Structure 1
Amino acid sequence: MIQADDLRFFLEVARTRRLVAAARGLGVEHTTVGRRVTQLERAAETRLFDRTPQGWELTEAGRGLLVHAEAVESSLLAAAEELGSARGRLSGTLRIAAPDGFGAFVLSPGLGGLRSDHPELTVEIVTETRLNLLATREFDIGISLEEPTTRGVRSRRLATYGLSFYASREYLSRQERPLDLAEVSRHPLIGYVDALLDIPALRFLDSALPGVRPAIQTNNVTGQWMAAVAGLGIAVLPDFVAAGDDRLVRIVEQTKIERTYWIAVPTEHQRLARTRAGESALLELVRNHEHLRAV
């Protein structure tokens, strides 16, 4: 007979595709994970994974079990949440994973409403700019710049936003203001570290100024913003970061870049009250933001 606790190990292996990674997530030895998966396969009387050089791949039977295992996990999480919260009040932890720009400049300062409505709820914001930010599924709500392809995650478009070329007033007092992209290319540019950039949507300079290498490269938009403010060159920045900063001036106004944010929720977290509250707060934040357009 299948034991419900074995499903935890099955789910972690299905999501990470590696015994060591699954063991790390579960806080146990990898041998324990292997033993519990083997125990589950014996109980199910079928093979649930194919062990390949690329990782542990779900068999057809494993994919069938995955749906039921996630339903069990979702029910247990919802029950734990209900038992752990006073009636009508949310507590526990809501983790939101987001790109650094959205997390730092939109989400963090925009949490007032959610905190007022649910003061006992702890909100964790995890920010990073990389393509596989959502791959681990270690979040309740995820925001990404590309449509999520992670299995077992419901996603949809959240908002579009604009980006523009910006330079500081101090910089423009020393340098002639560029009037078009050809003139921009002759200035020191500020951008992402090319070797670390795996998100095509962030390759703004590649499309606007192909072949031009930024003189200053950082792996996050906060660093680019501060470099531009310091007068070190010209940067492509989200309007929600730079438009309200009096130290910066939008240049080459005729060139506008637009990108889309996606919102993702793991299947097992969709029924949780804290996830639904967080998702509603995000949608409200986007609708009321001057430089975001809800989609």
Structure 2
Amino acid sequence: MTFLSVARLGRYTAAAEVLGVNHSTVSRRVTALESAMGGRVLVRTAGGWEVTDLGHRAVTIAERIEASLRELSDGENADAVHGMVRVSAPDAFTSVFLAPAMTALRREHPQLAVELLSATQRVRQNRSGVDLEIVVGRPQVLRAYATPVCAYALRLYATPDYLDEAGRPDSIAELAAHPLVYYVESSLQVDELDRALQELPDSPASVRSTSVFAHVEATAAGAGIGILPDFLGDADPRLTRVLDGAYAHPLAYWAVARDEGPRNPAVAATLEALISYIETVRG
């Protein structure tokens, strides 16, 4: 079971935290398994610990043992969706989609613990320490499972008061006269988010932030024209679309997991619940 946790999370420290043991205990147990099987089941790579060919055989056996132990301890009607799932995702996605979806999932599976980690970054080749990583844009990754979960677009928004005072732009070129509220350019780690800004003219001095919720609040306070996800901007009654039809930067959120991740019933249920919730609320 220790080996299975490392195979799914890719990191001894992450597996140790989930199992409630220390790093050395994880290492000792994996070493004992390798000694018993007569070969390496894990190999260290730049992306964390990866499962070897012998390790894949061990994973299959470990998953059967896991299911049997669960049935033995909880009975034939044991809930396969239990334990802990860690999901890394951008703030906006977490607040609007992930948190309510996971709340609903836990109502069905109360033995499941969920940890949500905030991150807006390009997909990592090393996904160690998390079961699912939600990223912006189609990921280019090796030895991973990836699937799209939500399409959206960045659009332009402002308050009616701001537009009355500063004037409503009639073209993309006229945006050069308006402060654009968006990410701090030097901190952007996602190419697709950077390209959204490159499609627009240079902005006068404006309010920039690493937080999308700061973008929303600054725009609502009249700081300028905000470049916001449509699922946030359209839902805010303080804001109205600007240059609707003339500017929209289409994007998508993708879920990425290590190869062994979706074999975990809890991870599979998490992904299914997330996609189902998004389909329900977005139609």
SS of residue matched to 1:192: coil
SS of residue matched to 1:289: helix
Once the 2 structures are TM-superposed, how far is the Cα of residue 264 of structure 1 from its aligned partner?
2.4
Q: Which residue of 1 aligns with 2:231?
A: 240
Q: Which residue of 2 aligns with 1:28?
A: 23
Give the alignment partner of residue 284 of structure 1, picking from 272, 276, 279. Answer: 276
RMSD: 3.9
Q: Deviations over 1:94-128 (max 9, x none)?
A: 32221222111222234453233224433322221
Number of residue pairs aligned between Structure 1 and Structure 2: 275
TM-score of the two chains, using structure 1 as the length reference: 0.73
Q: Which residue of 2 aligns with 1:93?
A: 84
Q: Which residue of 1 aligns with 2:98?
A: 107
Q: How does 1:63-102 map to 2 (within 5 A)?
A: 63-68=52-57, 70-71=59-60, 74-75=63-64, 78=67, 87-89=77-79, 90-102=81-93
Call closer, same or farther: CA 1:77–1:245 in 2, change over 3 Å: farther
Call closer, same or farther: CA 1:152–1:67 in 2, change over 3 Å: farther
TM-score of the two chains, using structure 2 as the length reference: 0.76
Q: How does 1:8-47 map to 2 (within 5 A)?
A: 15=10, 26=16, 27-28=22-23
Call closer, same or farther: CA 1:194–1:276 in 2, change over 3 Å: same
Distance in 2 between residues matched to 1:183 and 1:151, nearest whole Å: 43
Call closer, same or farther: CA 1:15–1:188 in 2, change over 3 Å: same
Q: Deviations over 1:33-77 (max 9, x none)?
A: 69x77x959x8578x8699xx79998xxx8534534554565565
Q: How does 1:122-271 map to 2 (within 5 A)?
A: 122-132=113-123, 135-209=126-200, 211-212=202-203, 215-253=206-244, 254-271=246-263
Matched to 1:246, the amino acid is P
Call closer, same or farther: CA 1:75–1:264 in 2, change over 3 Å: farther
Distance in 2 between residues matched to 1:28 and 1:100, nearest whole Å: 30
Give the alignment partner of residue 121 of structure 1, picking from 87, 112, 116. Answer: 112
Distance in 1 between residues matched to 2:223 and 2:156, nearest whole Å: 14
Matched to 1:251, the amino acid is V
Distance in 2 between residues matched to 1:121 and 1:76, nearest whole Å: 19
Matched to 2:56, the amino acid is V
SS of residue matched to 2:281: coil
Is 2:154–2:196's contact at 8 Å kept on the other side of the alignment? no
Is 1:97–1:141's contact at 8 Å kept on the other side of the alignment? yes
Matched to 2:120, the amino acid is T
Once the 2 structures are TM-superposed, how far is the Cα of residue 286 of structure 1 from its aligned partner?
2.0
Call closer, same or farther: CA 1:283–1:174 in 2, change over 3 Å: same
Q: Deviations over 1:133-174 (max 9, x none)?
A: 673332333321133445543112222112210112332232
Q: Which residue of 2 aligns with 1:275?
A: 267
Distance in 2 between residues matched to 1:83 and 1:194, nearest whole Å: 54
Q: Which residue of 1 aligns with 2:19?
A: none
Once the 2 structures are TM-superposed, how far is the Cα of residue 212 of structure 1 from its aligned partner?
4.2
Unaligned runs of 5+ in 1: 17-21
Distance in 1 between residues matched to 2:239 and 2:67, nearest whole Å: 47
Call closer, same or farther: CA 1:148–1:80 in 2, change over 3 Å: farther
